Amino acid sequence: MRTALDYFLELIYFETTSDENSTTYPSSPGQIEILRHLVGLVEELGLETTLSDKYTLYGRLPANSPELADLPPLGFIAHVDTSPAASGKVNSHRYVTYTGEPIVINADLNLTLSAALFPELNKLVGHDLIIADGTSLLGADNKAGVAEILALFAYLQANPQIKHGPLRLAFTPDEEIGAGTRYFDLELFDAAMAVTVDGGLSPEISCETFNAAGAVVTVRGRSVHPGTAYKQMVNAATLAARFAASFDPLDTPEETRERQGFLHCGNICGDVTTATLNYIIRDFDPDNFTARKELMRRRVEEFNAKYARTDIDAPPPFSVEIKDQYLNMRSYIEREPTIMNLLDKAFAALGITQKLIPTRGGTDGARLSEMGLPCPNVFTGGGNFHGPYEYLSVQDMEQAVELLRQLVVAHANSVAL
């Protein structure tokens, strides 16, 4: 029987970085490659599979006991892409038993994994960690989740005496760029509830995400030869810098934590003629979320009032387009609490107390919960996602698989869903 670690080490060498500038879906060819590969792995485990024309992989396993056949199906979801924030081309990996001492990831690049920089490592002393070589991320987000789901079904296949209800599986592309559920087919998935296996360290689970929007601010300038530019040039690059500097410097990702929201300017590019600023807007509270979007619109109006040229024929220099990306899934899950109740039973069976945290980000489950599929997020055992400091705890990975097993048992034992 293959383990989650076996699957994980096979999958991380597929380069599956998503590309937010792509016009294709999925956004990168490596995602198509890995999903086609996963079809074979899932079929080996006895599931009926469908790879949709939009490259979401669905798997279905019927109940193995007649009295459980009518249970509302339980689903497991993970995504195959990795973040474009760092290279997804994994060149090598290695195991390190963490003793509490700093781990040199790459001496040439001066990359060291230490509890001084990442305090959560303090609870991983004695764990076996997997790391990459510092030239890429590791891919635990979210290939660890994919591997753990595969290991769950491998265990069920090897242990047919374990009774289970109808189970479902889905592997999605492009989650990291907010498009994982763009073409998700709820009817084809056919689950009444699900979990995304896309979290961090044990024993964290989450039924809450940010409310999220993206904003693109466009600045239009007027290019004139610098030698004759007096009172004629409108420098879009300069105005973009002033705009970015106008927001509270403490209202940023690097200065906020826990339940605090933020505005994040992730990219500025341009020249004298045109510049763009790409923001993400995040907040757990819906009123604060609305206020942040209004602040962005109001700031554009203020800058237009300040910098619009009335002495020459020119449109207002600033414009903004804001698009909602996903909403906090908490209210949707609270309306359908069955899956959280089952998770309570699964954790109790493991003898550990779950740590309920707000996810400072998004998951496929946020949008799926909004669409009517309650879908909290459970841990994978990974940490420091989206960069070269990423790692995976083998012990937490094994515990994640055991949690999924106990969730299947709790589902089978439920008498009134």
What is the rounded distance in angstroms from the CA atom of residue 172 to the CA atom of residue 108?
36
Residue 35 has pLDDT above 80, yes or no: yes
Per residue in 251-272, pLDDT (tens digit) is 999 999 999 999 999 999 999 9
Q: Which helix (H) or strand (E) holds 204?
A: strand 204-206
Residue 415 has pLDDT above 60, yes or no: no
Do the Cβ atoms of 192 and 95 come closer than 8 Å? no
pLDDT band at 309 (very low <50, low <70, confident <90, very high): confident
Per residue in 314-341, pLDDT (tens digit) is 789 999 999 999 999 999 999 999 999 9
| 356: phi then psi, degrees, rounded to nearest 5 | -85, 115
Residue 417 has pLDDT above 50, yes or no: no
Q: Which residues contact 334 (CB under 8 A, 6 or more apart)?
A: 207
Q: Which domains does the chain have, with CATH numbers?
A: 4-209+328-413 (3.40.630.10), 211-325 (3.30.70.360)
What is the rounded distance in angstroms from the CA atom of residue 347 to the CA atom of residue 206?
13
Residue 7 tokens, joined: 């699957």
Q: How many residues does the chain have?
A: 417
Average pLDDT over residues 183-195: 98
Per residue in 137-186, pLDDT (tens digit) is 999 999 999 999 999 999 999 999 999 999 999 999 999 998 999 999 99
Q: What percent of the chain has pLDDT over 70?
A: 99
The residues that are catalytic are 81, 175
pLDDT band at 310 (very low <50, low <70, confident <90, very high): confident
Per residue in 61-81, pLDDT (tens digit) is 999 999 999 999 999 999 999
Alpha-carbon dihedral 398, 399, 401, 402, rounded to 10 degrees: 120
Give the other-Cβ count within 10 Å of 256's Cβ.
Answer: 17
